[in-house]
Amino acid sequence: MNILLAPMEGLLDFALRDILTRVGGIDRCVSEFIRVTDTLLPERAFRRIVPELMHGGRTPAGVPVRAQLLGSDPACMADNAARLAGMGPAGIDINFGCPAKVVNRHGGGAALLKEPELMERIVAAVRRAVPADMPVSAKMRLGFDDDSRAIECAQAIVSGGAGELVVHARTKAHGYRPPAYWERIADIRTEVSIPLVANGEIWTVDDALRCREVSGCTDLMLGRGIVTDPGLALAIRFAVQGDADAPLPGWPALQPLLHTFWGLIETNIEHRHRAGRLKQWLNFLRRRFPEAEEAYQAVRTITDSRVITAWLDKALDAEPAPQPITTVVPMAA
């Protein structure tokens, strides 16, 4: 079983990739999308989204990161994929699932699910542009307005030469509303030959086990569920292995990771966005940990980074936040 960390714009960036892969259980990450329009991006644009490119394409914990491209022009996608491949990512992923209106209005992300022929040309162009040993994968939703062309879209991705496909088991119209339609992934599996990875609405170990059973997929991709419970990947792995007594990280184990996360944010995120990033993660964590609810309420109205640092040092009863173990380029939120 492989467990992948999802790309989620504005949430699962380099900082949370760093932290969550330290916890363990994750085999591979996919970055947030790098937007490709009509230009060849400079290398700094790739490093801004995927700073792991400066460290062998891996997080500090050693977990490989595939860089994700989003765009609708095959030639421009190919040019940028070639440049990106030369920077040493663990692979290149193509986004056919982003539901954001601003992306879809310009023909990117999930909007491409209305044009399977174009999807095939994009994948084929990227595949030809990068070395043969560079993995090329894709992530798609079941469709735009409905899932009537889900199999056709998946077959287009396979025909283009992708070696792996992640399927988020909802349409663009579904957004993130439950449920996820894992049974439709099973339908796709009967019609394509490459490995499929199931994604969508996996919040617990029970969800993961049911998803594997219904979808028929061995491999899973986790998003909001693992942001809420950083030990989820480990818990799933232990459950599949039948190791019910394996220790899982609780709140005490997360406390130093909160410090490390804050250190990364302070070092790399613009001052005006820093407090919001910590609150964003605590807002997810409080669904799982009562202590995170207390922490969230304590910092909810604070905007001064220095006050948050002082509060973390005192409230979590730990040493001041350690220096990040990786140097990354300055980033905006």
Domain ranges of the chain: 3-241, 251-315
Which position among 29, 76, 98, 153 bears the catalytic label?
98
Identify the CATH assignment for 3-241 out of 1.20.1250.20, 3.20.20.70, 1.10.240.10, 3.40.50.20. Answer: 3.20.20.70
Contact 102, 108 (CB under 8 A): no
pLDDT at site 245: 79
Q: Which two tokens stand for residue 129?
A: 């542009």
76 in catalytic set: no
The CA distance from 139 to 98, in Å, is: 9
pLDDT at site 331: 37
Q: What is this structure's pTM?
A: 0.93
Left if phi > 0, otherwise alpha if psi is -120 to 50, otherwise beta: which for 143?
left
Helices (H), strands (E): how many in the chain?
Answer: 14, 8
Architecture per CATH, domain 251-315, reads as Up-down Bundle (1.20)
The CA distance from 259 to 250, in Å, is: 15
Contact 145, 173 (CB under 8 A): yes
Contact 65, 89 (CB under 8 A): yes
pLDDT at site 151: 98
- Give the residue ranges of the chain where pLDDT is below 50: 318-333
pLDDT at site 326: 37
pLDDT at site 325: 35
